[in-house]
Structure 1
């Protein structure tokens, strides 16, 4: 299996499904539709929705039941990027190689575009619940998992602590809270929600949760490294912003060498968490973990 080919294949699947649900009608509020679509179709790896689909496929052999959950997760992720880029947050000019949403549509519409994507995410996920079936509980639990990961006890909580952290309050406990909530929580929920919808048992969910936590933290630390030494043309955004904004990162606290060691340790933990599954069936997840350790974009 070529991991980049597999990611590309499932990215195309997600993109086609997003085309079906994103609003484009010629209504009075069409300007907000344009702003939402601008960011959702600006590129990106679609890592989170792909993880949802692939986890569902691992458990049940199919990703169909998890599709709307996956789309909702990508909308939540994109809304968070729009808001992250705003002048009041990270004040970034480029995202995925294109001008950020507020640079194109203005801050007011960018805020509303993020709000629109967040609300549409839950509309989309809720539309997948089969109310005439006893299976509806697993969908509710999956959406609850995503909601918590995206909210004040997950991503927003991590973002809040990130904003309120200065160099005087740099410490490992704070760093882990920010990374585990701001980035890792939604990656973990992408995997767990896919498993829930597919009917995974408690043991499978717990091992997949551990995998998600490990690769989520690995993803963020690699991001810290790329912000320092990455290629702007590959990343599609400016580098060096963490240092300019005096951000608490793994590098600022422990340095480059320790960051690389930590990533390798997280990779080992991720692989170990997959040990209860058939080796061939989790090949994608093992290769993905390796890719995240070495990714350049």
Structure 2
């Protein structure tokens, strides 16, 4: 995955409209958040699962771009005053602090629609095929929608300022964070035309590392500084949010991250190809510090 980020980002911009238009401020706002970078976790997973299933990497790119666009739109909306009200994202002012709440909201809306444009683009159809594109649209819509990422954000919002049972936190973390990571893993397999057993194994891997990723986020939120995270630390505490950490404590949560990571790695046994990259990726996420 060493050269993946540079390669992917070059391809990602091919799906973004030119800013030489009347709505230039909208495209600039979109590019501002895309250019903020990040770990590119989700597109990397699309690419890796495509590769491990013997797929064409050109088929993976539109699917990876779609997942990253959905993720980026969700971050723009999450930072809005009506949501988490955060002024920093990846060490830079949040989109709405630069472009205003109105343009930020519309930039998120545009990214959401652009994601499905990418999934049904000529490039996607040529390299992945009609059937894969239809399945990808359905999969991403399901995991990003009302019973997935958006539903998780709603649970997060209504959980502020009150004690929330651990079962609801599990549901929230699964929907808000793990669902889109799970979608990325499945989309990688779909882009390669993989059979159902491999898609299910990829989904299991994505679910495990997705929940581990969120628990690690909760740990870092209460053990790191703003500078280390590139976003406000301690926001869960400030918003009186119940988390895995508030229920179980930091050490128990660290143990849980390891258990979930081990389960994710075990799910890779169904793949005939070498899965070392995905094993290492799961371990890197579990031990990340920002």
| TM-score interval for Structure 1 and Structure 2 normalised by the shorter chain | over 0.9
Q: Distance in 1 between matches of 2:124 and 2:90?
A: 32
Q: C-alpha displacement at 1:125, in angstroms? A: 1.3
Aligned to 2:119: 125
Alignment RMSD, CA only? 1.6
Q: CA 1:26/1:135 → structure 2, altered by over 3 Å: closer, same or farther? A: closer
> Structure 1: any 5+ residue segments left out of the alignment?
1-5
Q: For each residue in 1:135-186, what CA deviation from the matched residue of structure 2 results, as whole angstroms up to 9, or x when unmatched? A: 4112211221111111001000000011011454511110011000000000
What SS does the aligned partner of 2:125 have? coil
Aligned to 1:211: 205
Q: Which of residues 245, 249, 259 in structure 2 aligns to 1:251?
A: 245
What is the number of residues matched between the two proteins? 289
* Residues 52, 191 of structure 1: 8 Å contact kept: yes
Q: C-alpha displacement at 1:27, in angstroms? A: 1.2
Q: Which moved more, 1:136-145 or 1:32-41?
A: 136-145
Q: C-alpha displacement at 1:224, in angstroms? A: 0.4
Aligned to 2:281: 288
Runs of 4+ in 1 over 3 A off after TM superposition: 166-169
Q: For each residue in 1:4-52, what CA deviation from the matched residue of structure 2 results, as whole angstroms up to 9, or x when unmatched? A: xx2x521111110122221223211111001011001112111101110
Q: TM-score, normalised by structure 1?
A: 0.93
Aligned to 1:183: 177
Aligned to 1:170: 164
Aligned to 1:149: 143
Aligned to 1:22: 16
* Residues 150, 156 of structure 1: 8 Å contact kept: yes
Question: 1:65-76 to 2 correspondence within 5 Å?
Answer: 65-76=59-70
> Structure 2: any 5+ residue segments left out of the alignment?
none
Q: Which of residues 233, 238, 249 in structure 2 aligns to 1:239?
A: 233
* Residues 49, 190 of structure 1: 8 Å contact kept: yes
* Residues 54, 63 of structure 1: 8 Å contact kept: no
Q: Distance in 2 between matches of 1:19 and 1:75?
A: 11
Q: Which of residues 89, 95, 98 in structure 1 aligns to 2:92?
A: 98
Q: TM-score, normalised by structure 2?
A: 0.95
What SS does the aligned partner of 1:90 have? coil
* Residues 82, 110 of structure 1: 8 Å contact kept: yes
